[in-house]
């Protein structure tokens, strides 16, 4: 069943790409397995799915330890500086860097483990008080600062758009983030690549792809609704 759900998402990704003349190979689907058992991850892995997203360090670490064959883990949730040390050598990409303090800590721990960590900068495009991320006005200068840190590499931008009934309402935010992405790319900063644009979730990933997303983070459409009470 998970495989059918996943394939359905892939089909919609392909259709969205077709509508705007993009190559579906440009879009990576991250299966967001938070709150779901490892068996769900393994089931998809057996069908060749490799990219999984978690929003909590502890859950990512326990799944990382337990899974037999490795997958690519994406940390997509808010990261506290004191937890960086647990994940620097376990993640493919940290999507949620939103402060200089956090970026410095990632750099510090990455140096200790002799790795270079790819990161995305989280942008709060809709200026929602409840959400983490930088205001778009602050992003360029922030990136210039972070790009000077050793052992971290900026790969792009990420946003969590507002929860809306009509995904069309988020189109303007996705478009704005894509524009910022292009602007920063054109500055050719050292140690900065604008190659990943992580935007779009179950409710709005098709619109996000039409506006240029290269990574979408999809939980509910693949794994079903989450139950936070268990």
Residues that bind ligand PLP (CB under 6 A): 32, 34, 55, 76-77, 160, 201-203, 217-220
Q: Which is nearer to ligand PLP, 106 or 222 (CB)?
A: 222
Taking the complex as a whole, the smallest distance from the CB of residue 226 to ligand PLP amounts, in Å, to: 7
Residue 230 contacts by C-beta under 8 Å, 6 or more apart in sequence? Answer: none
Q: Which is nearer to ligand PLP, 28 or 149 (CB)?
A: 28
Residue nearest to ligand PLP (CB): 219
Taking the complex as a whole, the smallest distance from the CB of residue 104 to ligand PLP amounts, in Å, to: 22
Taking the complex as a whole, the smallest distance from the CB of residue 190 to ligand PLP amounts, in Å, to: 28
Residue with token string 């946003």: 159
For residues 49-75, one letter each, b for 16 or more C-beta atoms within 10 angstroms of the residue's C-beta and e for the rest, the string is bebbbbbbbebbbebbeeeeeebebbb
Q: Indicate the angle between helix axes 100-113 and 136-146, nearest 10 degrees.
A: 30
Q: Which is nearer to ligand PLP, 149 or 221 (CB)?
A: 221
Q: Six-digit token pair at 144?
A: 């210039």
Q: Which is nearer to ligand PLP, 114 or 227 (CB)?
A: 227
Taking the complex as a whole, the smallest distance from the CB of residue 111 to ligand PLP amounts, in Å, to: 27
- Per the CB < 8 A criterion, the answer to whether 55 and 94 are in contact is no
Q: Which is nearer to ligand PLP, 139 or 201 (CB)?
A: 201
Per DSSP, what are the bridge partners of residue 120? Answer: 156
Q: Which is nearer to ligand PLP, 149 or 196 (CB)?
A: 196
Taking the complex as a whole, the smallest distance from the CB of residue 160 to ligand PLP amounts, in Å, to: 5
Q: Which is nearer to ligand PLP, 144 or 169 (CB)?
A: 169
- Per the CB < 8 A criterion, the answer to whether 222 and 9 are in contact is yes
Taking the complex as a whole, the smallest distance from the CB of residue 220 to ligand PLP amounts, in Å, to: 3
- Per the CB < 8 A criterion, the answer to whether 202 and 220 are in contact is yes
Taking the complex as a whole, the smallest distance from the CB of residue 51 to ligand PLP amounts, in Å, to: 12
Q: Six-digit token pair at 100?
A: 């200089």
**Helical spans, DSSP H, in the chain:** 2-20, 38-45, 57-66, 84-87, 100-113, 136-146, 171-186, 205-210, 220-223
Q: How many CB atoms sit inside 10 A of residue 28's CB?
A: 18
């Amino acid at each position: 069943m998970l495989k059918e759900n996943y394939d359905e998402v892939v089909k919609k990704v392909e259709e969205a790409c077709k509508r705007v003349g993009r190559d579906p190979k440009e879009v990576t689907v991250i299966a967001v397995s938070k709150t779901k058992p490892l068996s769900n991850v393994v089931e998809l892995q057996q069908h060749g799915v490799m990219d999984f997203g978690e929003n909590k360090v502890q859950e990512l670490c326990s799944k990382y330890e337990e899974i037999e064959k490795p997958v690519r883990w994406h940390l997509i949730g808010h990261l506290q500086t004191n937890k960086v040390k647990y994940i620097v050598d376990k993640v493919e990409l940290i999507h949620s860097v939103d402060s200089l303090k956090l970026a410095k800590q990632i750099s510090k721990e990455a140096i200790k483990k002799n790795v270079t960590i790819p990161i995305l900068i989280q942008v709060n495009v809709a200026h929602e008080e409840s959400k983490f991320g930088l205001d778009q006005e602050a992003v360029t200068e922030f990136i210039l600062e972070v790009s000077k840190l050793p052992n971290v590499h900026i790969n792009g931008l990420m946003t969590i758009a507002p929860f809306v009934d009509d995904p069309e309402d988020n189109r303007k935010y996705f478009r704005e983030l894509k524009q910022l992405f292009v602007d920063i790319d054109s500055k050719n900063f050292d140690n900065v690549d604008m190659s990943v644009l992580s935007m779009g979730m179950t409710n709005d990933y098709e619109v996000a792809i039409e506006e240029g997303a290269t990574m979408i983070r999809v939980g509910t459409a693949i794994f079903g609704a989450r139950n936070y009470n268990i």
